[in-house]
């Protein structure tokens, strides 16, 4: 008798509970891109910055849209004068009395 005790391998059958996979809606999680000059909204940076900006600092359509790097907010504040508006489009449509270039020399610029 070799005395070797062999334990029968008890394989625990882990009950495979199939958790319902949460469905991710990519369109919901995709962050929107906004132009910091005019508030134009795009679904990605590439499409945003490929279009001419009608409120570009150099003049209408003198440059492309530029990505607003701040987060989406319920209210946007001008970083120069503190003017507030609920959308980037309406914020950047107004002349800024404290624009770096001078009084009303440019539009409000959203703070990040
Ligand atoms: Zn723009
Ligand atoms: Zn301003």
- Using an 8 Å Cβ cutoff, are 106 and 57 in contact? yes
In sequence order, the 6+-apart residues with CB closer than 8 A to the CB of 44 are 30, 33
What's the CA gap between 41 and 88, in Å, rounded?
9
Which residues lie at CB < 5 A from ion ligand 2? 78, 80-81, 83, 96, 108
CB 55 within 8 A of CB 37: yes
CA of 76 to the centre of ligand 1 (A): 16
Mean pLDDT of 2-28: 55
Average pLDDT, the chain: 85
Measured in Å, residue 55 CA sits from the centre of ligand 2 at 15
- Distance in Å, CA 25 to ligand 1 centroid: 28
Section 80-103 average pLDDT: 97
CB 53 within 8 A of CB 39: no
Contact 67, 33 (CB under 8 A): yes
Q: Answer yes or no: is pLDDT of 95 > 90.
A: yes
Ligand 2 centre distance from Cα of residue 21 (Å): 47
């Amino acid at each position: 008798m070799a005395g070797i005790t062999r334990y029968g391998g008890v394989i625990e059958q882990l009950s495979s509970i199939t958790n319902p996979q949460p469905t991710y809606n990519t369109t919901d999680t995709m962050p929107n891109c906004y132009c910091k000059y005019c508030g134009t909204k795009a679904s990605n940076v590439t499409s945003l910055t490929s279009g001419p900006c009608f409120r570009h600092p150099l003049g209408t359509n003198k440059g492309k849209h530029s990505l607003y790097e701040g987060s989406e907010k319920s209210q946007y504040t001008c970083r120069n004068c503190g003017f507030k508006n609920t959308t980037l489009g309406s914020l950047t449509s107004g002349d800024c009395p404290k624009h770096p270039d001078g009084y009303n020399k440019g539009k409000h610029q959203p703070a990040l």
